[in-house]
Structure 1
C-alpha cells in the first residue's frame, strides 16, 4: 500500500491541480456530458476535485454522490465541497455502492478500476444503480503504453516492473470493454488521451510518479534507497540537460446502459 507523508501529500495536491491531472478530469467530464438536474455517482471520488467540478454544472436540481472507501479521502472531499448543497459524500466501494437501484443518471470513475480485483462485479453494481439509458465513464491508464527514457534502462525496467505491483489490473482500457458488453452495456467510445513530457514539471504526472515510486520500490526490496535516489536524480539531470522523455496514454471509456 502507498504511504503518504506530509510532503508527499502536499505534492500530490499540487499535482492534482496541475495541467496533467486537470486534463484527465476534463476528459472524463466531457465524456460524461453532465446536464442540469443530473444525479451523478462519482465512484472513488478521492479528494473531491471532479465531484466539485461536476457540482457546478448540474445546478441545485442535481446531485453529485461522491463515493470512496477511504475515510481520509472522504474527509478531504467533504472539506472541498463544503459549500455545495448538491454534493453528498458517502462511504462505499465500486462493488458495494450505497445507492438504490436505478437511482443515478450517470456514473464516473477516474483511475479507480485499475485497483479493483473484481471488474465484472463493479460493472454489475454500476448497472444496478444506473437508470435505463444511463451513462458510465471510466478513465484509466494503459500501463503497457509507458515509455520512460533512462541511461540505465535495466534499472528503469526494474523500477517500473516493481511499481506495477501496486496495481491489480494494469490494462483496464483493453480488458474493460468486453466486460461491459458481457454485462449488457453498449460501449460508445474508447478515447486515447496521450501524455508526453520532455521536461520534468513540478506539477506533472512523471514528477508525481517519481515521488511515489521511490519509497514504494524501496519498501518492496527491489532496490536500495541510494539506488532509488540515484534513479530520481538521473531524471532531474536529464530534464536539466534537455534529454528527458516520458510518455503514457490514458483512456476514457464511455458506455451506456440499455434504455
Structure 2
C-alpha cells in the first residue's frame, strides 16, 4: 500500500500546524480571517486554540502596542512553544486553559477567533457560549472550519472516494460537519451572523493534498475500520499516486457579532 508519493509517518502536531500555515492556502485563508476580524489599535484580542502561536504576532501587530492579545490552548507543548515564539511581542500572553471554560471575565475582549479548532472540541455550542460571554457588546468573532462532508477526491471508482470521505466524517474528525453548522450554532449562542464566506481550495498536486489530508495514513486507518479492503486501498492509492489528481473541500469563514456597543 505504500508509495513514495505519500507521507507515512504521523507528523508532529506542531510541525503539522506550521506546515499548513506556510502553504499558499494557509497564508491566504488566514489573511482573510484577519481581514474579517478587523482588529483596531488598542483592542483586546483572543486567539482561542492558538496552538504554537502561529497567528499571535499578526494579531499583535493589528492591535498595536496599545492593545493586548491573549492566546489560549489546552496543550502544554503548544502553549510553551507559543510563549517562546512570542517572547519579544509586547502585549501578548499565552494561557493554558480549556476553551470550554475560559479564565476570563465577562465582557473583557473586543475580538476573538478560532481557526480549525471547533472540529475537535467536545462541545462546540458551549465554546461559543463562553466566547459570547467574554466578548464586549459590539465584539466580533471570526470562526474558520472545514466541512469534511464536502471532501471530494476524484477517482475512477466513485465508491472508493465516498468510502474515504465517509471514514473521515464518521471516524477521523469529531465534528466533521462543523463548517456548515457554525452559523446556526453562533446564532443559538446569542450572536448575529452577518457574513458566511465559503473558501474551496482545489488541489491538483497529490503531494500538496497529502500534506493536508494524510492520504495513505488515513486510508490505512480506514482499512482497519472496515471502510476499505486491502485490495480496494491499493486500487485507491495507486490511482491517486499515478493518475491525474483532483481533490477539494469547502472551508467556511463565519463572522459573528455580539450585539450593539
Match of 1:173 among 179, 184, 192: 179
Judge which range, 22-31 or 131-140, deviates more: 22-31
Match of 1:44 among 12, 27, 49: 49
Show the counterpart of 2:97. 92
Change (3 A) 1:180 1:103: same
Using the TM superposition, give the Cα deviation of residue 47 of structure 1 relative to its aligned residue in structure 2, in angstroms.
1.8
Using the TM superposition, give the Cα deviation of residue 101 of structure 1 relative to its aligned residue in structure 2, in angstroms.
1.1
The answer (yes or no) to whether the contact 2:209–2:247 under 8 Å persists in 1 is no
Cα distance in 1 between the residues matched to 2:85 and 2:177: 31
Show the counterpart of 2:252. 251
Cα distance in 2 between the residues matched to 1:6 and 1:176: 28
> Could you state the TM-score of these two structures normalised by the residue count of structure 1?
0.85
State the aligned residue count. 250
Q: CA RMSD in A?
A: 2.5
Show the counterpart of 2:195. 189
Change (3 A) 1:173 1:13: closer
Q: How does 1:1-259 map to 2 (within 5 A)?
A: 5=10, 10=15, 12-164=17-169, 165-200=171-206, 202=207, 204-210=208-214, 213-214=218-219, 216-217=221-222, 220=225, 222-223=227-228, 231-238=236-243, 243-259=244-260
The answer (yes or no) to whether the contact 1:105–1:130 under 8 Å persists in 2 is yes
Unaligned runs of 5+ in 1: none
Secondary structure of 1:82's match? coil
Cα distance in 2 between the residues matched to 1:188 and 1:25: 19
Secondary structure of 2:138's match? strand
